[in-house]
Amino acid sequence: MSGVPEVSGDPGLPAGFRVGHWTDPDARTGCTVVLPPPGTRASVDVRGGGTGTREIENLSPLANAEGPGAVLLTGGSAFGLAAADGVVRWLEERGLGRPTPGGIVPLVPTAVVFDLVAGESARRPGPAEGYAACEAAVDGVPQRGALGAGTGTAVGKLLGRERAAQGGVGYAAARLDDGTTVAALAVANAFGDVIGEDGRLFGAPRGEDGSLVRTAEVLPTMPDLPESRDIAVRETGNTTLVCVCTDASIDKRTCAIVARMAGAGIARAVDPTFTPIDGDVVFCLAAGSDPPRSPGLAASWAITVLGTVAATVTARAIRDAVAK
């Protein structure tokens, strides 16, 4: 496949970051946790119209919390949000979180994918599973494929899940000339197709003859939702989740800008995207310890470079998720 990233040659996660998965291959669900170094700043950009989230308001540039103890990406739809309780417990046991007069309070922003129709809907990630994902977290290049939050995912669901392509977890990273690492972890569960840099279909619906169908070309022929597709569309559940990790020294506001720019990577790799029936969310975590640059042209230029690279690795990570 032309344009599929060679992740084996990409840098691993920035220093101090770890990623862990918990997977139930029989129930086709799981969760994935990103554990950043203490002191990490973070923000989020929400584009989709059908999100399922927890505690992401803490990542607003206007919120007083600087950053999370972890970010959780999970299956199980709204039920899967409970897995964050296990991540909170794991962090609390290690004294990781926001200091308060009442003790450490871990903050764990969470976003879910809908995978309840992929396997056993009564089996979904909970506190024990979130805790297990933390226990499994490692540095380097994360495991990818149909595991963790990507276990029960699919892309290109216009004609229903039975004709959709397998989704999954993908990863890509780049190192800038100044040594800064920008990495992206993606969970691909989009309604739309995953496409390559050259426009080639990587993951898309299969027509009656088994060939790949381009969703953006078929949709205009369906101005009204056909009754035969109503149940299929309602059952699919669609989301692209991304977590950008970097060792750049940027503040919370800049994390929000980078997260927004990284969303362009979703638009490059998924078509159509940001629809009312997708729950697209991009997190940006920054762990650099140097003071952020003072506002000015030089700082704006650096942010532009960082956000541009974040969009590039985001697109590659989404393609990697369906290339496994």
Give me the chain's average pLDDT, please.
Answer: 90
Model confidence at 320: pLDDT above 90: yes
Residue range 4-30: mean pLDDT, rounded:
86
CB atoms within 10 A of CB 127: 16
Model confidence at 17: pLDDT above 50: yes
Residue range 62-79: mean pLDDT, rounded:
92
Model confidence at 56: pLDDT above 50: yes
pLDDT of residue 324: 59
Residue range 234-248: mean pLDDT, rounded:
86
For residue 12, count CB atoms less than 10 angstroms from its CB and return exposed for 0-12, middle for 13-18, buried for 19 or more. middle
CB atoms within 10 A of CB 95: 11
Q: Which residue has the higher pLDDT, 26 or 233?
A: 26
Model confidence at 135: pLDDT above 60: yes
Residue range 76-84: mean pLDDT, rounded:
96
The CATH number of the domain covering residues in 7-323: 3.60.70.12
Q: How far is CA 272 from the centre of its chain?
A: 17
Decide: 126 and 168 in contact? Cβ < 8 Å. Answer: no
**Domain residue spans of the chain:** 7-323
- Amino acid letter for position 289: S
Residue range 71-82: mean pLDDT, rounded:
96
pLDDT of residue 193: 96
pLDDT of residue 159: 86
Distance between CA atoms of 153 and 169, rounded to whole angstroms? 9
Model confidence at 195: pLDDT above 80: yes
Peptide bond into 205 cis (omega under 30): no
Model confidence at 215: pLDDT above 50: yes
- Amino acid letter for position 59: L
pLDDT of residue 205: 93
Q: How confident is the model at residue 233 (pLDDT cuts 50, 70, 90)?
A: low
Tokens of 319: 């393609």
pLDDT of residue 5: 42
Residue range 33-62: mean pLDDT, rounded:
92
Q: How confident is the model at residue 2 (pLDDT cuts 50, 70, 90)?
A: very low
